[in-house]
Amino acid sequence: MTTAIVAERDLSLATIDRLAAALREALGRGDAVTLDLTHVAGPDLALLQLVEAGRRQAERDGVDVALAAPAGAALVRALERAGFTAGFDATDHDFWFHGDPPR
User: What is the CATH classification number for the domain harbouring 68?
Assistant: 3.30.750.24
Q: Is the per-residue pLDDT at 102 higher than 90? A: no
81: CB partners within 8 A, 6+ apart: none
Task: Name residue 98's amino acid.
Answer: H
Residue 37 lies in a domain: yes
- What does each C-alpha distance from 7 to 61, 89, 91 come to in angstroms? 23, 25, 22
β-pairing, 2-6 vs 32-36, is: parallel
Q: Is the per-residue pLDDT at 54 higher than 90? A: yes
Domain count, the chain: 1
Residue 80 lies in a domain: yes
- What average pLDDT does range 47-59 have in this prediction? 96
Q: Is the per-residue pLDDT at 62 higher than 90? A: yes
Q: Is the per-residue pLDDT at 42 higher than 70? A: yes
- What does each C-alpha distance from 85 to 18, 56, 75 come to in angstroms? 26, 17, 11
Predicted structure pTM score = 0.92
Structural domain for 28, as ranges: 2-97
User: Distance between the two ends of the chain, CA-based, in angstroms?
Assistant: 33
Q: What is the pLDDT of residue 103?
A: 63
